[in-house]
Chain A
Amino acid sequence: KAGVTQTPRYLIKTRGQQVTLSCSPISGHRSVSWYQQTPGQGLQFLFEYFSETQRNKGNFPGRFSGRQFSNSRSEMNVSTLELGDSALYLCASSRDSFNEKLFFGSGTQLSVL
């Protein structure tokens, strides 16, 4: 069974640009969530999608957005990049029932110059 796949693995952008990250969940998983990880900050919740609907959103500015497609694949978009957006962006999927663990992808390392 294939794991959670995130693309691209690495990205280098400059301030003001926008970026789109992709996540393919494990087959059969309908819940996809996104996290930002920076040194010393742990995993900060961005948003969660289920059946193409955003179910929850963390405390991030509107420059961060996402969507989910009918095949459960998800994309995350960050517009008008800032230096502080440099981070590892992790995607996780689950079957969305109780006591379900998250399965993580390898992340996209974004560097904003």
Chain B
Amino acid sequence: EDKVVQSPLSLVVHEGDTVTLNCSYEVTNFRSLLWYKQEKKAPTFLFMLTSSGIEKKSGRLSSILDKKELFSILNITATQTGDSAVYLCAVERTSGTYKYIFGTGTRLKVLA
């Protein structure tokens, strides 16, 4: 059965810390991997990764995909309280009933 697993489930850090969120997957017909940030209700898009080994970067956030080992990481450096959110990982498939399979998310809380 296809699945996406995120770890840790939750994390509490202090401002200025660096965090690494993990997403591993076992999915047939892989097309891309996406990261979303969910602060209140609507998940907002962060990154889409399709090629292995190429880092995507946006400010203090960066992400990389390893298609051989079937995982991705999301790094956040110099964390701020505004980074507190649930971070969702999703895998897009080329075919199948579930075009997008989501992980359960990592809940990050950044303390001032």
Map CB proximity to B onto A12-42 as digits: 1 under 8 Å, 0 otherwise. 0000000000000000000001010000111
Of A41, A56, A99, A105, the contact of B50 (CB 8 Å cutoff): A99
Residues of B within 8 A of A4 (CB): 42
In the bound complex, do residue B50 and residue A107 qualify as a contact, i.e. CB atoms below 8 Å apart? no
Smallest CB separation, B24 vs chain A (Å):
14
Question: What are 26 A-B pairs with beta-carbon distances under 8 A?
Answer: A3-B42, A4-B42, A33-B99, A33-B100, A40-B104, A41-B104, A42-B103, A42-B104, A42-B105, A43-B90, A45-B98, A45-B101, A48-B99, A56-B98, A57-B97, A58-B98, A88-B41, A99-B32, A99-B50, A99-B92, A101-B45, A101-B48, A104-B43, A106-B41, A107-B42, A109-B41
**How many residues of chain B are within 8 Å of chain A by beta carbon?**
25
Closest to A42 in B: B104
Of A33, A56, A103, the contact of B45 (CB 8 Å cutoff): A103
A-B contact count (CB 8 A): 56
- In the complex the two chains form, what is the Cα distance from A4 to B41 in whole Å? 12
Which of B41, B90, B94 has the most chain A CB atoms inside 10 A of its CB? B41
Residues of A within 8 A of B50 (CB): 99
